[in-house]
Amino acid sequence: MSRRAGEALIPEDRPDPVPAAGEVRLRVLACGVCRTDLHVVDGDLARSGSVVPGHEIVGRVEATGAGVRGFAIGQRVGVPWLGGTCGHCAYCESDRENLCDTPVFTGYTRDGGFATHAVCDARHCFALPDGVDDAHIAPLLCAGLIGWRSLRMAGDGKAIGLYGFGAAAHIIAQVARWQGRTIYAFTRAGDVTAQAFARQMGAVWAGASEDSPPVALDAAIIFAPVGDLVPAALRAVKKGGRVVCGGIYMSDIPSFPYRLLWEERQVVSVANLTRRDAIEFLEVAPRAGVVTEVKTYPLERANDALDDLRSGRLSGAAVIVP
């Protein structure tokens, strides 16, 4: 399934891709549907031409290109959003490859996983643990990874607010609880379904994004792409608190009085992920007992999955199963 910006996905028949040197070809078993896919499909992220979306790929190695080591035919692997880096820019050389000057992004600058097959850079594929089926492990590859990086950037505080309780929040809430933290969930006003889901996932309180939590927060993570939530979150965090913006895209942040930022509050963003993030989180998730809530769709219903995410009809994550 490929698209041009602002258009629905269109089915296409293509020959099986041939992996070049350093690449592997995967038979796609499942691919999570991420909010970033919406930003790609809806044209929020500029991109010319046509591309196959999808960057939470679970697949089995079907063929390898020259020079690939460490992967066996038939092995199950995962592929995340960051699909390639240069390895030699100042960021890559300082362990900040998530900020690489010439990155490759799965499902955005190279074809992704809304397909039966995908070709990926072997250096950015990860062996997946056993014990979790394809559909339930797929959301870990972006929603989980970005949630993990966001949680680490939030610091060591105990009271954590999560704004937007979707795929990423429902995963990282479980990790935070395992770490001994307390979760406060913020949803769209009147969304009792999302608030009930948040409490099911361990939140001790769930309310509207405009509400004040019952305690001052040590940190807040914003997963919803809504700039208005930044000043709301700043109001909710205590002195020295941090607000982490966890998405690749957000609407404009409105002006707000300096007093909301004063007393050493901080606003930071999360950009992409590193391979170290993936290795760490794929080890942490089973130890934390993470269980993902998913709704599966066949490949031909990829547009329905995107529509359900766009309209807020999902609890947890959507996953496409070719």
Interval 85-101: pLDDT, tens: 999 999 999 999 999 99
**Predicted local confidence at residue 204, as pLDDT:** 98
Pairwise pLDDT comparison (130 vs 262), residue with the higher score: 262
Reduced to 3 states (helix: H, G, I; strand: E, B; else coil), residue 40 is: helix
* CA distance to 95, 192, 200, 240, 315, per residue, from 196 (Å): 40, 6, 6, 30, 10
Q: Which residue has 């769209």 as its token pair?
A: 188
pLDDT for residue 257 is more than 90: yes
Where exactly does CATH 3.40.50.720 map onto the chain?
Answer: 144-269
What is d(CA 49, CA 264) in angstroms, rounded to the nearest whole number? 44
Structure tokens at 37: 């896919």
Q: Which residue has 């001994």 as its token pair?
A: 180
Structure tokens at 223: 């997963």
Confidence of residue 128 (pLDDT cuts 50, 70, 90): very high
Q: Which residue has 């490759």 as its token pair?
A: 104
**Predicted local confidence at residue 2, as pLDDT:** 58
**Predicted local confidence at residue 46, as pLDDT:** 79
Question: In the chain, which ranges are E strands?
Answer: 23-33, 56-64, 76-79, 82-84, 104-105, 117-121, 126-127, 159-163, 182-187, 205-208, 217-222, 237-245, 266-269, 294-298, 317-321
Secondary structure element (H or E) that encloses residue 317, with its range: strand 317-321
Q: Which amino acid is at 80?
A: P
Read off the pLDDT of each residue in 8-16 and give the average, rounded to a whole number. 89
pLDDT for residue 4 is more than 60: no
Q: Which residue has 């935070």 as its token pair?
A: 176
Q: Is 191 left (phi over 0), alpha (psi -120 to 50) or beta?
A: beta
Q: Which amino acid is at 314?
A: L
Confidence of residue 187 (pLDDT cuts 50, 70, 90): very high
CB 163 within 8 A of CB 229: yes
Confidence of residue 1 (pLDDT cuts 50, 70, 90): low
CB 88 within 8 A of CB 102: no
CA 52 to chain centre: 17
Reduced to 3 states (helix: H, G, I; strand: E, B; else coil), residue 268 is: strand
Confidence of residue 312 (pLDDT cuts 50, 70, 90): confident
pTM: 0.92
Where exactly does CATH 3.90.180.10 map onto the chain?
Answer: 23-141+273-321
Domain spanning 23-141+273-321: CATH superfamily: Medium-chain alcohol dehydrogenases, catalytic domain (3.90.180.10)
- Please give the CATH topology (third level) of the domain spanning 144-269: Rossmann fold (3.40.50)
Query: Over 22-83, what HEC string results?
Result: CEEEEEEEEEEECHHHHHHHCCCCCCCCCECCCCEEEEEEEEECCCCCCCCCCCEEEECCEE
Kindly report the length of the chain: 322
What is d(CA 27, CA 24) in angstroms, rounded to the nearest whole number? 10
Structure tokens at 251: 């609407």
Read off the pLDDT of each residue in 259-273 and give the average, rounded to a whole number. 97
